[in-house]
């Protein structure tokens, strides 16, 4: 079924709510972040909802806070492609997207794993290419943290191009041919072990917001995972990135923009707002409020009362208590903004953190949320959404049961899968085989 004239179809993906500050672990309905049954529950729910894909983030080192493992990371995190491969066996149509770092891996090995996943899932594999290379994370790897941002994207671009050469190295008739790639980043040759996979090229997703990141996405990616989740910021980002495509000979539809968004549903808008406030207070527990403050101030503030006032001094912009996490660009400015807010409204530390960070993107009755999602896409602020539930593993159930049918009624979401591969779900062009003359 196609969308009514002039109405854009919405793409939906499900982010597994793992070790991030959105997930409410204290909720009695919270399950394991590592048992296969959790991944399976969320993936099956997403497939029941006819979602385009299931998404896993990646963290390559346990983050630290004041020299101890960060509370959110004490539970650990399994490796993405392994989990996705297991999910391929319990789903049939759902795309399977994993975040894998281009700074610390090698093209031959990663291209092989992704092509294998594409075969085992019959064309549902996607790779979210990230580049994060803080030295702390890099200590886990031979390459260390030696790449600055521009070099990371240079390497990532050549990495993806090399992977695509490897994926193209088998002829479409199923016979292998040698490959050779000699560039500034990689010099490799030989034969690729995996035949051309069902999608030809697994879908490439990009997450990263700098000018270099946007340019990399415009030249290379099929999907962008972005944090721009308000209408205004979304429209600006959408116009900026889509505007970069023409210089690479690409059409606007060749790159889908999908912000990560959160949601809270209830029978009425008023109840949903009330629930949203409760969830914010669960996310920002008294202990988390102090952690958030320490991240900005870059020092121990455990002697502060979460229900009391903010520190009356500025952060030292050079100091940090966090390892493995991006530090805010201008902590002094953030601290002053938070203090001004707290003084103007008479807010405690905890209330200030609740007010200033991570408000839910879509709050309301299912009808309100469905209308807002449609508007967001119709207004060219996105092509779809990567939904980030706040509960593992049941946080998507409500959305699939109550919002998806309304989107279908509005004619902006599929009522069945029309294709079998992720490329088909996303409406992406099939890659042209660039293997050259056999």
Ligand X SMILES: Cc1cc2nc3c(=O)[nH]c(=O)nc-3n(C[C@H](O)[C@H](O)[C@H](O)COP(=O)(O)O)c2cc1C
Q: Which residues bind ligand X (CB under 6 A)?
A: 57-58, 99, 101, 130-132, 149, 207-210, 212-213, 225-227, 260
Whole-angstrom CA distances from 150 to 101, 155, 184, 210, 360 are 15, 9, 14, 10, 33
Cβ 187 to ligand X shortest distance, Å: 25
Cβ 413 to ligand X shortest distance, Å: 22
Cβ 84 to ligand X shortest distance, Å: 14
Q: Measured on CA atoms in the order 131, 135, 138, 143, is the torsion positive or negative?
A: positive
149-151-154 Cα angle (round to 5):
115
Cβ 73 to ligand X shortest distance, Å: 13
Taking the least distance from each CB to ligand X, the nearer of 206 and 368 is 206
Residue 367's H or E segment, with its range, is helix 366-378
Taking the least distance from each CB to ligand X, the nearer of 13 and 289 is 13
Taking the least distance from each CB to ligand X, the nearer of 84 and 130 is 130
Taking the least distance from each CB to ligand X, the nearer of 57 and 321 is 57
Cβ 213 to ligand X shortest distance, Å: 3
Taking the least distance from each CB to ligand X, the nearer of 257 and 290 is 257
Return the bridge partners of 180, or none: 189
Return the bridge partners of 259, or none: 226
Query: Measured between alpha carbons, how far is 42 from 60 in angstroms, rounded to an integer?
Result: 23
Taking the least distance from each CB to ligand X, the nearer of 226 and 295 is 226
How far is the first Cα of the chain from the last one, in angstroms, to the nearest whole number? 39
* Cα 330 → chain centroid: 24
Cβ 9 to ligand X shortest distance, Å: 22
- DSSP annotation of 268: S
Query: Measured between alpha carbons, how far is 171 from 435 in angstroms, rounded to an integer?
Result: 7
């Amino acid at each position: 079924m196609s969308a009514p004239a002039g109405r854009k179809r919405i793409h939906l993906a499900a982010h597994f709510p793992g070790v991030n500050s959105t997930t409410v672990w204290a909720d009695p309905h919270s399950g394991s972040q590592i048992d296969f049954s959790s991944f399976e529950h969320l993936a099956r729910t997403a497939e029941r909802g006819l979602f385009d894909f299931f998404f896993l983030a990646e963290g390559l080192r346990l983050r630290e806070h004041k020299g101890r493992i960060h509370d959110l990371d004490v539970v650990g995190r399994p490796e993405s492609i392994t989990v996705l491969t297991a999910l391929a066996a319990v789903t049939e149509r759902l795309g399977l997207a994993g975040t894998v770092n281009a700074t610390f891996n090698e093209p031959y090995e990663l291209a092989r794993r992704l092509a294998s996943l594409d075969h085992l899932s019959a064309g549902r594999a996607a790779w979210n290419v990230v580049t994060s290379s803080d030295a702390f994370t890099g200590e886990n790897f031979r390459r260390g943290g030696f790449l600055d941002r521009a070099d990371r994207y240079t390497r990532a671009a050549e990495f993806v191009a090399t992977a695509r050469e490897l994926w193209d190295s088998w002829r479409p008739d199923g016979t292998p041919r040698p490959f050779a790639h000699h560039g500034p980043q990689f010099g490799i040759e030989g034969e690729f072990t995996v035949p051309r996979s069902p999608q030809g090229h697994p879908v490439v997703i990009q997450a990263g917001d700098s000018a270099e990141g946007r340019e990399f996405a415009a030249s290379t990616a099929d999907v962008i995972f972005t944090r721009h989740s308000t209408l205004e910021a979304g429209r600006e980002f959408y116009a900026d990135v889509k505007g970069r495509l023409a210089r690479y000979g690409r059409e606007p539809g060749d790159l889908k923009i999908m912000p990560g968004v959160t949601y809270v549903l209830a029978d009425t808008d008023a109840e949903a707002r009330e629930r949203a406030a409760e969830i914010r207070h669960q996310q920002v527990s008294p202990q988390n409020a102090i952690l958030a403050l320490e991240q900005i101030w870059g020092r121990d503030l455990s002697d502060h009362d979460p229900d009391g006032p903010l520190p009356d001094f500025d952060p030292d912009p050079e100091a940090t208590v966090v390892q493995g996490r991006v530090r805010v660009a201008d902590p002094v400015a953030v601290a002053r903004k938070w203090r001004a807010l707290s003084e103007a409204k008479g807010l405690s530390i905890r209330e200030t953190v609740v007010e200033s960070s991570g408000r839910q993107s879509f709050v309301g009755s299912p009808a309100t949320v469905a209308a807002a999602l449609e508007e967001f896409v119709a207004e060219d602020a996105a092509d779809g959404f990567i939904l980030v539930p706040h509960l593992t593993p049941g946080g998507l159930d409500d959305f699939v049961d109550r919002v998806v049918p309304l989107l279908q009624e509005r004619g902006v979401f599929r009522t069945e899968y029309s294709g079998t591969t992720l490329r088909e779900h996303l409406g992406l062009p099939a890659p042209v085989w660039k293997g050259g003359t056999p």
